[in-house]
Structure 1
């Protein structure tokens, strides 16, 4: 059946959805949509595997909206779970666009703000819940959610859900929703965790995989630079941002502290408007930053990986991996923020000597080498500080030990303990060349 599909009309969607698709500018369905939509529409459980930016969201939303059709009752009939607030808001935006000509009601539930307004929205009546697992359970345990009408469960970005440790919450949710339901699981990679998750709650699913030889999009030009330390990374980033072709940039970092420090430095250097998003930022701050970035009012967005999958902006010119991700699938998601909608993009990665060890694993994942380039002569190379150098050595040891449990690293040799008293107080008998008295001889004299 999939072979005969060449347009959205071939999916036999209702008029309301077709009008919305046309208004959104969707022309030809993507491979994941061609394979997944007919199966989901027919009621099958589906596992959909496809790289980022290939239309996975519409691949499950269109059959879901077709199934629900119109507003009915007060309680949710479909539940969509996703790992982050940003992704929840992105899915909500997609539903708004696709369901614009229907009367379907939907509510988003996520942390970072108080639950009062979200509970009030649920109480007004809803057909679809879009939620992070934690916030869904919070509101359910308050007695504000009736789940017996849920007939469809969608788990989006399942691999990230597993990486973030949501398995216990997912198991709890599976216990409180009806057993008889349709399940749709979508992910960018079929990791062992995703396989485990599918075994937990899917029965005889149809597996739809659109996996090219390279999991990264061809429109992305990837470059790797060996950058020895943090200060040199800052210098290089500043050098790159002097180029005006860097019009809309996402800088991905490993930690919230690094995100704050990098954004503050770029603000001081006046290299263009800059905002930062991570889990400690307030929800309004994160939403405003995303909106500014989408509208083109923001040049630089600094983000941790928690936001990597909730950023859907078609005109991102560059992605900079300031730090190499240690969850290798995150590399695919990071660089997938550029080169979207058939636009060309550039992904640049900075790696110190410890991070270079992970590059080989990433290259194996994406089935291609990442081209290396030498740092420009204009970039000042700073000396690596003692603490940063020690941390790199420990990271190298940890990596090698993970690869080989018998490996003994640079920090494994223990020096003999020397007690302070042995150093400060030399033996009085040795110091004056006297022999220690014989206790037995002393007793004889008595």
Structure 2
């Protein structure tokens, strides 16, 4: 089936074809006809199966080939990275139309976003906080919304955005066309849909026999010592057929440390985490998508915004918090029908977490295999060439570490040179106290004493040549006895 057979207009079909997008995915095949007819939809499909075009193409087409200025469609997403990704997809689909799209999210200056709204953007893609901020300042008018989409609704629930979502719904017309898309569907999300949607149809674009995890992803679970993780990762990054790779870690400090370590080893890595400002995060994502960087280290905040089809490996440097986080992380690979490999490191202290994830996802692997950077099964399972080491270049840190020892050696040679007669030996015997006298010192030292004022115990001078301060005699007065 093609997009034309789904009644998508030709200019949109041509725009997609220019990027090699010809055949729709199952979630698109099932949702597009219903969405074009104005049916409210709850779309559920695994991440990376094309949900963005599943709701994006219908709202673009329903707005018309030349929509009037003003916000008519609202797409709400949980993270900044996902806002950028969805905007890029919609801009691709509208490249042959005058329809304007604006991203609204925090971390960026207000002025550019406000200018795009005033210029008449018809589709807004944004995060809840910044959307409510601009709406509260009467800079974003939601009263004319005709199309509304909640993307990754379960992540919004995890991030505590549910009250903000309810406020956004309350500011839009009751007769709007609403679609809700998510990889998982907790009960609270279903209740939200019942409150704000009109007779929604629940579509699950999954194979009943597929299981909870994607069949085109190979899952490898290793118990790795923390001190050996960098070496193991470095060898995995040299596996045959390894393309773009995403490494997930729990903390932003760990992400910064890993990217520094990998770059020092000669790999081409970038990072996305909370200590970077929005411009830095966007530049890192752009470099990764363009292939200038083939390794991306990220915390979970960026997991939903990494929509790159050619990611071959996902490495969990630290174990995810639960099975849902695991699915969202590993879902960065195996996208668009391609295969992928997901490697998860389990620390000794996190075995209980893995037990819960293993049970929830029905892996049947309660005990991760103990693995080291030299383990034969690591090389065999990941296709790492025999003899591979963990460095592509010598460390740039090592010479700096050796520098102090070289300097100390230089000083020792200088001292040996002094003792050999190059310089006269210094007299280190310093006489202090009242028993010393100028006559007891060498003549040269006497001159130094008189010139610099070295205190010899018999005068009132100090080493700086100034007179010593006078001592104050303190007499203690006894308190008078009470009468």
TM-score range, shorter chain: 0.7 to 0.9
Query: 1:289 matched to which residue of 2?
Result: 284
1:217 and 2:210 correspond? no
d(CA) in 2 for partners of 1:288 and 1:152? 31
1:323 and 2:339 correspond? no
Alpha-carbon offset, residue 130 of structure 1: 0.5
User: What secondary structure, in the 3-state scheme, does the structure 2 residue paired with 1:13 have?
Assistant: coil
d(CA) in 2 for partners of 1:201 and 1:365? 30
Structure 2 residue runs without a partner (length 5+): 376-483
1:254 and 2:254 correspond? no
Query: Is contact 1:11-1:38 (8 Å) kept?
Result: yes
Query: 1:155 matched to which residue of 2?
Result: 150
User: Mapping of 1:353-432 within 5 angstroms?
Assistant: 353-369=348-364, 372-376=368-372, 378=374
Alpha-carbon offset, residue 173 of structure 1: 0.9
Query: Is contact 2:218-2:342 (8 Å) kept?
Result: yes
Matching residue within 28, 38, 53 for 1:43: 38
User: What secondary structure, in the 3-state scheme, does the structure 2 residue paired with 1:79 have?
Assistant: strand
Query: Is contact 1:242-1:271 (8 Å) kept?
Result: no
Residues 194-251 of structure 1: CA deviation (Å, up to 9, x unaligned): 22332332232100012333233222111000124x3233343234335464442211
d(CA) in 2 for partners of 1:164 and 1:295? 29
Distance 1:34-1:72 versus aligned 2 partners, 3 A rule: closer
Instruction: Report which of the two structures shows the higher radius of gyration computed on alpha carbons.
Output: 2
Query: 1:96 matched to which residue of 2?
Result: 91
d(CA) in 1 for partners of 2:238 and 2:65? 52
How many residues end up aligned between the 2 structures?
372
Moved over 6 A (4+): none
Alpha-carbon offset, residue 133 of structure 1: 0.6
Structure 1 stretch displaced more, 198-207 or 154-163:
198-207
Structure 1 stretch displaced more, 19-28 or 340-349:
19-28
User: What secondary structure, in the 3-state scheme, does the structure 2 residue paired with 1:179 have?
Assistant: coil
d(CA) in 2 for partners of 1:375 and 1:223? 11
User: What secondary structure, in the 3-state scheme, does the structure 1 residue paired with 2:28 have?
Assistant: helix
1:227 and 2:224 correspond? yes
d(CA) in 1 for partners of 2:133 and 2:84? 19
User: Mapping of 1:115-264 within 5 angstroms?
Assistant: 115-212=110-207, 213-228=210-225, 230-243=226-239, 245-264=241-260
Query: 2:272 matched to which residue of 1?
Result: 277
Structure 1 residue runs without a partner (length 5+): 1-5, 380-446
Structure 1 stretch displaced more, 14-23 or 136-145:
14-23
Quote the RMSD (CA, aligned, Å). 1.9
Query: 2:340 matched to which residue of 1?
Result: 345
Alpha-carbon offset, residue 11 of structure 1: 1.4
